[in-house]
């Protein structure tokens, strides 16, 4: 996305991310050497830069450190004429600057590090005393000199090692002599120790602490010029005190950024010398290019579904609220993309109403909070908007009551006047209505709400806009009455509350007026008192607390400017905390879900696109499969050449425009030109000219930005096509005998359609066709031998059993007999006997076993033999033998690898060989050889081919990307 520009162009400034999500930019200079005292604050909510008060001094090449008090300490720099010792403090809450104590030495281009003690260590810098170091104590506002480095240096790196010591590497002197030597500082003994030198002198490089404890150094600049960039890299081992050169980057760069990923790989982005990104694999010592930054998410929801899957919905990526969703499949240890929410949102709630239905309420969307709500159905993979709440709110709570109703409590509306709420309301899913309830005694957000064994709800702490709260209240749903409850011993917000098996309630950590809390307390129902218990090992808030099967409580991550990856377990019997294995990387505002296996899944948090699993039995963390390796709901179209075109689709985080072609004779994939627009759930129809018409689909914002385009296999080009009256997805596209294409129905974020349109390839024009009798999407439309199109089932507010016939010659639709079962996500196969077989699908509550047969001559439906396994989102391919091959799909939440074969002559099903991996919403294409190509639908980056003669599956060679897809196009043999 393109962000608004700073009001003042500047470089050599600082940019500090505050816990509120705002970014503070201070000072800097222009290319003409004008130094600034001005500052700006980026508000990610409104996506605007705001002017804030100037600093007292102009400064450039200074540092800025976010303290534990949430204030920002700005240190030193230069004002063009002088190097500065002055410091000042910015307080976001009062929007004011105050002077802080001066350093003992003037310095610029130095390094500043916040230590776990809360002190700030300043090292080196470009003054006359640039080897000196000093320590700042925020509590006393004093600077104390500490031991000096062995030599002066600037543009060096400082890395906090696993043992608490600080590693200093490289840099250069005030005479621009570049250093390769390194040293280590021990804050406990206040001593510097020289260690082995790097193999290359460098400055403006990066140094990254790896999980192994080694330090990875990349790039930088060296020599007589600041612009002599390096591509070389090296690795430091603190145990052996040795440096080893490793593989070089593809191009030199300095002043770049390095990110350690959960996989253990290192992402390098930007810098002077190379605008591209690349990825380093320490295991194989190799670099590979990467096109995009990894998606990261926080302030999202993670909901455990009854089918051992976890729905992750929405969140915040650092700039925007997100509508994106994904489902984690525990048995397969992989991610499957889910349909985007209708409303982008973060700081919302997600509540499991019944198996497969999740209610999402409120949250922060675009520039304010929202009252809009929606329900996700896992079977249909669709979101449906439901009644709005009475108030727009975020940072509220939502609690499922034994009655099946959902209680929403408090929160606030983040607009220009930030209103905090004491009001509450109840959602009834059966009537789709909200009812206002009694107000709490106090307005509050960032509180907790927990359902007790008595059926009452306990609300603890929070923030009312002015004060952090220790107060607690109890709600009785039977009488609609709030009563006061014993106060906690300390006020807190963004804490956790856990109901223990004993009925006691454990509260951990939180935030109070600028301070992070390690304090914990326990509520005893018998005494009606809160009792302080042993503190956690580290202060933390925005962490998670999960009650394990053993009755112990696992606390993970959180925010305290340090120790974000640490985890610890509370034992209710001994009332003691024990540190356990750390997560692979830091996480804040993440989510943790207890799985039926007893393991705990953590998702999101800061810059992490990948989840991980904790096993309490082995005290180990393992990474969850990458979330950006699959596609789903792309199209597969057999070309006149016999090759198969795969177009678009989606992976977990992105909608795709990329395409590729499968060559059946060579059994391999080849990349072809990208579409103009990213899209999934579109249709792709082979025209009589051999070109392919792509229509509609959804992109990142739920609708394709370009309704249609045409692919020419001969020239490998896409041509945009305009004139379609609506943008939609979930429609059908049917090639008629005239060469025209009939498009029927579909859905956009606001309505279901019954409109139909005709495309004329000869004149490249769209014209309106007669409307269907019913709105519908996820239906089928099949060309019959009598030159009519039979439209079957689908979904519009509910699953449909209705059917209608479109007559091409008269451009009219007429009603025909209904199916016996309402269904959508089914398949329709025209058999050689001139009958049409409808297979499986879903009815809104479950996947279907039963099948139906339509007799074209009599216009009647009859039952066909049931499948061996219920399924929806599967494929059905008419083989050259006249039998029908059914592959994969979803069975009430379980993904299927099993396949079966239908014989129309005997009306019987038989089991055939299973695919190598479960697949859902995949594609199947009949090849000219009589074999069937299946692509996508699983975490494996493989297509596979089924041979009916040998009843065997074989993998496709060198696929370029994994796909998960839906068969939107009726395929034929060539």
pLDDT of 864 strictly over 70 = yes
Mean pLDDT value of segment 287-315: 68
CB 929 within 8 A of CB 946: no
At 965 the pLDDT is 32
At 390 the pLDDT is 95
DSSP letter string, 609-662: ---EEEETTTTEEEEPPPSSS--BS-EEEE-TTS-EEEE--B-SS-B---EEEE
At 894 the pLDDT is 78
Which of 184-193, 603-612, 921-930 bottoms out in mean pLDDT, i.e. has the lowest? 603-612
Rounded to whole angstroms, how far apart are CA atoms 873 and 895? 10
Chain Cα centroid distance, residue 754: 34
The residue that leads in pLDDT, 634 or 821, is 821
Chain region(s) in the chain for CATH 2.120.10.80: 14-250, 635-955
Measured CA angle at 845 (ends 844, 849), to 5 deg: 95
Across-strand partners of 813? 806
With CA atoms as reference, report the closest residue to 918 among 946, 953, 955, 890.
Answer: 890
Rounded to whole angstroms, how far apart are CA atoms 554 and 576? 12
pLDDT of 440 strictly over 90 = yes
pLDDT of 334 strictly over 60 = yes
pLDDT digits (tens, 9 = 90+) for 634-690: 788 888 888 888 888 876 566 788 888 888 777 777 888 888 888 888 899 999 999
Which of 243-252, 618-627, 842-851, 873-882 bottoms out in mean pLDDT, i.e. has the lowest? 618-627
At 323 the pLDDT is 85
At 3 the pLDDT is 46
The token pair that represents 689 in the structure block: 């000219």
Share of the chain above pLDDT 70, in %: 87
At 960 the pLDDT is 41
Rg value, the chain, Cα: 31
What's the mean per-residue pLDDT of the chain?
A: 85
With CA atoms as reference, report the closest residue to 526 among 547, 546, 505, 508.
Answer: 505
766 to 20, 28, 693, 695, 816: CA distances (angstroms): 50, 56, 12, 12, 27
At 175 the pLDDT is 74
896 to 337, 815, 848, 854: CA distances (angstroms): 16, 35, 14, 27
With CA atoms as reference, report the closest residue to 716 among 690, 741, 695, 685.
Answer: 690
Work out the number of other CB atoms within 10 angstroms of the CB of residue 22: 16
Work out the number of other CB atoms within 10 angstroms of the CB of residue 767: 13
With CA atoms as reference, report the closest residue to 837 among 880, 873, 882.
Answer: 882
Rounded to whole angstroms, how far apart are CA atoms 101 and 89? 10
The token pair that represents 1 in the structure block: 């996305």
Q: How confident is the model at residue 938 (pLDDT cuts 50, 70, 90)?
A: low
Chain Cα centroid distance, residue 298: 8
Extended beta strands in 401-552, E state: 406-409, 412-413, 419-420, 424-428, 433-436, 448-451, 457-460, 472-476, 481-485, 496-499, 505-508, 511-512, 515-516, 520-524, 529-533, 544-547
Element (H, E) at 354: strand 349-354
At 931 the pLDDT is 93
At 50 the pLDDT is 76
At 382 the pLDDT is 81
pLDDT digits (tens, 9 = 90+) for 197-244: 999 999 888 899 998 899 999 998 886 554 578 889 999 999 999 999
At 926 the pLDDT is 92
Work out the number of other CB atoms within 10 angstroms of the CB of residue 228: 15
Residue position matching structure tokens 């678009």: 648
Mean pLDDT value of segment 410-428: 87
CB 170 within 8 A of CB 234: no
Rounded to whole angstroms, how far apart are CA atoms 630 and 895? 15
The domain covering 635-955 belongs, at the CATH homologous superfamily level, to Kelch-type beta propeller (2.120.10.80)
130 to 136, 152, 547: CA distances (angstroms): 17, 4, 52
Antiparallel, parallel or unpaired: β 182-186 and 166-169: antiparallel
CB 60 within 8 A of CB 78: yes
Second-level CATH architecture of 14-250: 6 Propeller (2.120)
pLDDT digits (tens, 9 = 90+) for 153-171: 878 888 888 888 899 999 8
């Amino acid at each position: 996305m393109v962000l608004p520009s700073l009001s003042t162009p500047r470089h050599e400034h600082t940019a500090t991310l505050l816990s509120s999500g705002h970014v503070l930019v201070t000072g800097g200079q222009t290319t003409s050497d004008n130094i600034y005292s001005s500052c700006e604050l980026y508000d990610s909510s409104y996506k605007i830069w705001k002017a804030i008060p100037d600093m007292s001094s102009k400064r450039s090449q200074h540092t800025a450190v976010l303290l534990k008090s949430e204030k920002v300490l700005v240190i030193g720099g230069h004002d063009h004429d002088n190097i500065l010792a002055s410091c000042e403090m910015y307080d976001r809450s009062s929007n004011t600057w105050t002077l802080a104590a001066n350093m003992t030495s003037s310095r610029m281009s130095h390094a500043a590090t916040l230590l776990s003690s809360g002190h700030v260590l300043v090292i080196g810098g470009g003054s006359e005393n640039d080897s000196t170091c000093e320590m700042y104590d925020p509590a006393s506002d004093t600077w104390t000199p500490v031991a000096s480095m062995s030599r002066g240096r600037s543009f060096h790196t400082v890395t906090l090692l696993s043992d608490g010591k600080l590693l200093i590497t490289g840099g250069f002197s005030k005479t621009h002599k570049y250093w390769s030597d390194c040293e280590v500082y021990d804050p406990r003994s206040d001593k510097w120790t020289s260690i082995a030198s790097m193999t290359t002198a460098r400055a403006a490089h990066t140094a990254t602490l790896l999980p192994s404890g080694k330090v990875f150094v990349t790039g930088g600049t060296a020599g007589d010029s600041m612009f002599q960039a390096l591509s070389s890299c090296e690795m430091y081992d603190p145990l052996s005190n040795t440096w080893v050169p490793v593989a070089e980057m593809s191009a030199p760069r300095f002043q770049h950024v390095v990110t350690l990923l959960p996989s253990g790989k290192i992402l390098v982005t930007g810098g002077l010398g190379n605008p591209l990104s690349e990825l380093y694999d320490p295991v194989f010592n190799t670099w590979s290019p990467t096109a995009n930054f990894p998606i990261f998410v926080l302030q999202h929801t993670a909901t455990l579904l009854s089918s051992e899957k976890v729905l992750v919905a929405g969140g915040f990526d650092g700039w925007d609220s997100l509508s994106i969703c994904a489902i984690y499949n525990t048995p397969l240890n992989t991610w499957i993309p889910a349909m985007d929410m209708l409303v982008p949102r973060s700081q919302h709630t997600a509540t499991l109403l019944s198996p497969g239905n999740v209610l999402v309420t409120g949250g922060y969307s675009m520039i304010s909070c929202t009252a809009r709500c929606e329900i996700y159905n896992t079977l249909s993979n669709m979101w449906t908007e439901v009644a709005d709440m009475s108030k727009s709110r975020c940072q509220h709570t939502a609690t499922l009551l034994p009655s099946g109703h959902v209680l929403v409590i408090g929160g606030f509306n983040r607009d220009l006047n930030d209103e905090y709420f004491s009001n509450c309301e109840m959602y009834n899913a059966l009537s789709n209505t909200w009812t206002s309830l009694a107000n709490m005694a106090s307005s509050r957000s960032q509180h907790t709400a927990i359902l007790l064994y008595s059926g009452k709800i306990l609300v603890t702490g929070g923030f009312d806009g002015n004060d952090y709260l220790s107060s607690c209240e109890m709600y009785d749903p039977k009488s609609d009455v709030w009563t006061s409850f014993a106060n906690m011993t300390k006020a807190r917000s963004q804490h956790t509350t856990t109901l223990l098996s004993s009925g006691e309630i454990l509260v951990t950590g939180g935030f109070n007026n600028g301070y992070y809390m390690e304090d914990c307390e326990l509520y005893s129902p018998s005494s009606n008192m809160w009792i302080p218990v042993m503190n956690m090992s580290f202060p933390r808030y925005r962490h998670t607390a999960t009650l394990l099967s053993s009755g112990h409580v696992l606390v993970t991550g959180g925010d305290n400017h340090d120790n974000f990856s640490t985890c610890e377990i509370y034992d209710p019997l001994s009332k003691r905390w024990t540190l356990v294995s750390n997560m692979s990387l830091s996480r804040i505002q993440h989510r943790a879900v207890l799985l039926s296996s007893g393991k705990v899944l953590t998702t999101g948090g800061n810059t992490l696109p990948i989840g991980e699993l904790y096993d309490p039995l082995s005290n180990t963390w393992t990474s969850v499969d990458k979330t950006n390796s699959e596609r789903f709901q792309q199209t597969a179209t057999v070309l006149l050449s016999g090759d198969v075109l795969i177009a678009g689709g989606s992976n977990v985080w992105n909608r795709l425009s990329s395409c590729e072609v499968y060559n059946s004779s060579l059994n391999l994939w080849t990349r072809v030109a990208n579409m103009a627009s990213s899209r999934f759930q579109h249709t792709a129809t082979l025209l009589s000219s051999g070109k392919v018409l792509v229509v509609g689909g959804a992109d990142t914002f739920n609708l394709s930005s370009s309704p249609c385009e045409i692919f020419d296999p001969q020239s490998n080009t896409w041509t945009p096509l305009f004139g379609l009256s609506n943008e939609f997805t979930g429609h059908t596209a049917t090639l008629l005998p005239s060469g025209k294409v009939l498009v029927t129905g579909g859905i956009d974020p606001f309505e279901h359609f019954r409109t139909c349109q005709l495309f004329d390839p000869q004149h490249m024009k769209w014209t309106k066709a007669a409307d269907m009798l019913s709105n519908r999407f996820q239906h089928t439309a099949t060309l019959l031998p009598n030159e009519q199109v039979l439209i079957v089932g689908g979904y519009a507010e509910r699953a449909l059993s209705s059917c209608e016939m479109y007559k091409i010659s008269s451009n009219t639709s007429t009603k025909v007999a209904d199916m016996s079962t309402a269904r959508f996500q089914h398949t329709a196969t025209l058999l050689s006997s001139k009958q049409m077989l409808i297979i499986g699908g879903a009815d809104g509550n479950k996947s279907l076993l039963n099948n139906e047969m339509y007799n074209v001559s009599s216009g009647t439906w009859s039952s066909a033999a049931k499948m061996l396994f219920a399924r929806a989102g599967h494929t059905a391919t008419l083989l050259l033998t006249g039998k029908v091959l059914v592959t994969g799909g979803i069975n009430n939440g379980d993904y299927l690898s099993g396949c079966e074969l239908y014989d129309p002559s005997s009306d019987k099903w038989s089991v055939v060989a299973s695919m190598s991996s479960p697949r859902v919403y995949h594609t199947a294409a009949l090849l000219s050889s009589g074999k069937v190509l299946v692509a996508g639908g699983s975490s494996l980056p493989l297509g596979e081919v089924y041979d009916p003669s040998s009843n065997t599956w074989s993998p496709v060679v060198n696929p370029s990307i994994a796909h998960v897809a839906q068969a939107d196009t009726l395929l034929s043999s060539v």
